[in-house]
Structure 1
Amino acid sequence: MDAKSKQKVVLVTGGSGLVGQAMKKVSEEENRPDEKWIFLSSKDADLRDPEETRAIIKKYNPTHVVHLAAMVGGLYKHLRVNCDFLTFNIRINDNVLDSCKEMGVEKVVSCLSTCVFPDQTTYPIDETMIHNGPPHDSNFGYSYAKRMIVVMNRAYNMQYGCQFTSVIPTNIYGPHDNFNLEDAHVLPGLIHKGYLAKQKSIPFTVCGTGTPRRQFIYSVDLAKLIMWTLREYEEIEPIILSVDKEDEVSVGEVAELVAEAFDLKDKVLYDTSKSDGQIKKTANNAKLRKYLPNFKFTSLRQGIRETAEWLETHYENARV
């Protein structure tokens, strides 16, 4: 068998987004001859449509799929359109997994979120606790749609023997993020506000009290871990991809790092009339550390600085 016939063909849905761009960067740097990477965007196919989804999978005939595509957004967008988050993401996930099964894809890695975990729970959360109660009410539509991937993976494996699994990253940030203040997640939203505060000499204001605590993972670190999952992780049950529990920080601490990255002299202001959302959702990465005890994560200070520099350089073409 020649080398080309052994080559993995890896199709990445949502390939133009934050994580997809990071995976593209890492795959180009690695330049492995045994892997061909294809990155799709929403312009290539509407994955809410089963025929378009089947056609794009058939066109590229991948051996492996990394499923990143989703309707995503920040807290305030979730509060406005929870039903859209539920129905659109269920359609996307159903179409992708069904098409992969039909086309004989060897392995699929889908990307979830820590919002799949119950709102009322003990901390730290781990992979066994996903179905122990309802998710936070602010983003229940997205959460249930993502939670169902775990159920679907198990069902496809039991009935058809499919090697479908999933990863659960904590809060992701980095270059190519969605910095739109209307629907950005907390860190890209803060970075955009920091940029505007620097450019326009206006106050740097944080929505809420700054007390919620989060674990943040740099997109390039996550890309490397998803690629490891694709190549090495054999379990069907999900795995949390997160920095260590000790690296959890408050939104206020993150805001201070953003202010530092943009060299903002004025102190951070807090608009306490705005919602904080979920106060904490500390994740346990013990399962990941069992496999990769020595993986070194990018420090939050360095990641924020690199992301801030990227936004300053690419602001005209960024998602703002």
Structure 2
Amino acid sequence: MLRGPGLHFPAAPGAPSEDSIYQRTAGGRPLVPPPPRSRRVAGESARAGSRSPGQGKVGKGAGAASMGEPQRSTRILVTGGSGLVGRAIQKVVADGARLPGEDWVFVSSKDADLTNAAQTRALFEKVQPTHVIHLAAMVGGLFRNMKYNLDFWRKNVHINDNVLHSAFEVGARKVVSCLSTCIFPDKTTYPIDETMIHDGPPHSSNFGYSYAKRMIDVQNRAYFQQHGCTFTAVIPTNVFGPHDNFNIEDGHVLPGLIHKVHLAKSRGSALTVWGTGSPRRQFIYSLDLARLFLWVLREYDQVEPIILSVGEEDEVSIREAAEAVVEAMDFHGEVIVSFSSRRRQCRSHLVAPTWQLGRRLPLSWRASKGQGQAGGGGGVHPVCCGLDRAPSLIPPSQMGSLRRRPATASCGPTCLTSGSHPSSRP
């Protein structure tokens, strides 16, 4: 996360120190310059009247949002900046994707409690973002979701409302929020697309989280209808990459597989996986997703959400994913497929087509293939980053196969071949 030492926001309303928000190098020099002392006037080019869809009315809220040619002072605030997707965006920006005139500020729950309206407002007042990538959320695996559906609903609704309203209040020109494929109806026709989000109830296992994420789309449309704001959202499929959650009980399918294989190999024990392995999913590498986020931020001007995924022409079964991890980590021990009544089987199929994305992206864009690390090289696959023990070496060409294939939604639990209802998290 781009965050300096001593970064702190008070629990009560009040202005945090300006230097605390911006990342510093080891020598103490800010990587991101602080904003000017004079506050930007909300909706600087405010004019009466309405604009075409995607631009909207410019007033207290957002105005035209294109960033293809950023203005002199474009400041992008990324909430949830310490998570899987947030760190991927940070790396892509640091590796050269930052355009002239862009200042990027990455924050996490250590910087402000986004369930608290006063702290959220203090953060936005201090940063004065022109654009926001909203990744922050209360997330968890299958069993945590099943046990605390009310908590997932309430906390995420508070976070989302505070972030979107604070962005509106400071005059942010654009907000891109992150949804999840778990928002789609449990009983539906396939393939699914962006128009089907509200066609029926989501899966019962995580309905609190799913409905809270759906409400972002409702809020985005309401902000546009009432204020002309360009607030939109993306729907990623299963994300994997560096800084993932490797908790076996509370993580998602790929990091859970990697951790279990690592433990079985280091202990010389059998590998036990749950379920049939038949559910099929789409997987997208976090750095590929980060580049798509930047494209949405700069080029996508619609309020309607957009699915971000590799293509749907090929999918990966959870069994194939498990076999790829076993092979890539050179595990030669016994693999036991087990069933348990406490493990729920997730959806057998949830393909997320990329028709809308395919129509809009430049033809030159392709998901990275056959490389464990973006840009090539290296024998330690970045997905292994974050294990509390030295990870096994994974040849990049092995794990790359998971990114060559499209997929379907995200399989939440680390019951490795079964899992929960698909869900992806930032």
Q: TM-score interval w.r.t. the shorter chain?
A: over 0.9
Superposed CA deviations along residues 148-185 of structure 1, whole A, max 9, x for unmatched, are 11110000011011110000000111100111112101
Structure 2 residue 73 is matched with structure 1 residue 12? no
Please state how far the C-alpha of 1:270 moved relative to its aligned partner: 1.8
Structure 2 residue 347 is matched with structure 1 residue 278? yes
The residue that corresponds to 2:215 in the other structure is: 148
Please state how far the C-alpha of 1:207 moved relative to its aligned partner: 2.1
Secondary structure at 2:210 match in 1: helix
- Whole-angstrom distance in 2 between the partners of 1:164 and 1:5: 19
Please state how far the C-alpha of 1:5 moved relative to its aligned partner: 6.2
Please state how far the C-alpha of 1:294 moved relative to its aligned partner: 4.1
- Whole-angstrom distance in 2 between the partners of 1:298 and 1:265: 28
Equivalent residues of 2:231, 2:303 under 8 A apart = yes
Which amino acid counterpart does residue 82 of structure 2 have in structure 1? S
Equivalent residues of 1:48, 1:91 under 8 A apart = yes
* Structure 2 unmatched runs, 5+: 1-68, 391-426
Which amino acid counterpart does residue 136 of structure 1 have in structure 2? H
TM-aligned CA distance change 1:254 to 1:288, over 3 Å:
same
Equivalent residues of 1:174, 1:307 under 8 A apart = no
Superposed CA deviations along residues 76-104 of structure 1, whole A, max 9, x for unmatched, are 22122111111111110000001101110
- Whole-angstrom distance in 2 between the partners of 1:141 and 1:301: 37
Structure 2 residue 187 is matched with structure 1 residue 120? yes
Secondary structure at 1:100 match in 2: helix
The structure 2 residue matched to 1:240, chosen from 307, 313, 321, is 307
TM-score normalised by L of structure 1 = 0.93
- Whole-angstrom distance in 1 between the partners of 2:215 and 2:332: 46
Which amino acid counterpart does residue 279 of structure 2 have in structure 1? P
Equivalent residues of 2:76, 2:105 under 8 A apart = yes
- Whole-angstrom distance in 1 between the partners of 2:389 and 2:134: 25
TM-aligned CA distance change 1:307 to 1:56, over 3 Å:
farther
Matches within 5 A, 1:79-228: 79-228=146-295
The structure 2 residue matched to 1:26, chosen from 65, 70, 92, is 92
- Whole-angstrom distance in 1 between the partners of 2:134 and 2:148: 23
TM-aligned CA distance change 1:111 to 1:150, over 3 Å:
same
Specify which structure has the higher proportion of helix: 1
Structure 2 residue 316 is matched with structure 1 residue 316? no
- Whole-angstrom distance in 2 between the partners of 1:317 and 1:223: 27
- Whole-angstrom distance in 2 between the partners of 1:294 and 1:59: 38
Secondary structure at 2:132 match in 1: strand
The farther-off stretch of 16-25 and 74-83 is 74-83
Please state how far the C-alpha of 1:74 moved relative to its aligned partner: 1.8
The farther-off stretch of 130-139 and 291-300 is 291-300
Equivalent residues of 2:74, 2:101 under 8 A apart = yes
Equivalent residues of 1:175, 1:307 under 8 A apart = no
The residue that corresponds to 1:62 in the other structure is: 129
Which amino acid counterpart does residue 202 of structure 1 have in structure 2? S
Secondary structure at 2:218 match in 1: helix
The residue that corresponds to 1:295 in the other structure is: 365
Equivalent residues of 2:242, 2:386 under 8 A apart = no
Larger Rg over CA atoms: 2
Matches within 5 A, 1:64-79: 64-79=131-146
- Whole-angstrom distance in 2 between the partners of 1:307 and 1:264: 16
The farther-off stretch of 50-59 and 25-34 is 25-34
Equivalent residues of 1:135, 1:144 under 8 A apart = yes
Superposed CA deviations along residues 221-254 of structure 1, whole A, max 9, x for unmatched, are 0000011000000000000001111232111100
Please state how far the C-alpha of 1:268 moved relative to its aligned partner: 3.2
Identity %: 56
Secondary structure at 1:152 match in 2: helix
TM-aligned CA distance change 1:117 to 1:59, over 3 Å:
same
- Whole-angstrom distance in 2 between the partners of 1:268 and 1:306: 28
TM-aligned CA distance change 1:97 to 1:66, over 3 Å:
same
The farther-off stretch of 306-315 and 21-30 is 306-315
Please state how far the C-alpha of 1:120 moved relative to its aligned partner: 0.4
The farther-off stretch of 288-297 and 6-15 is 288-297
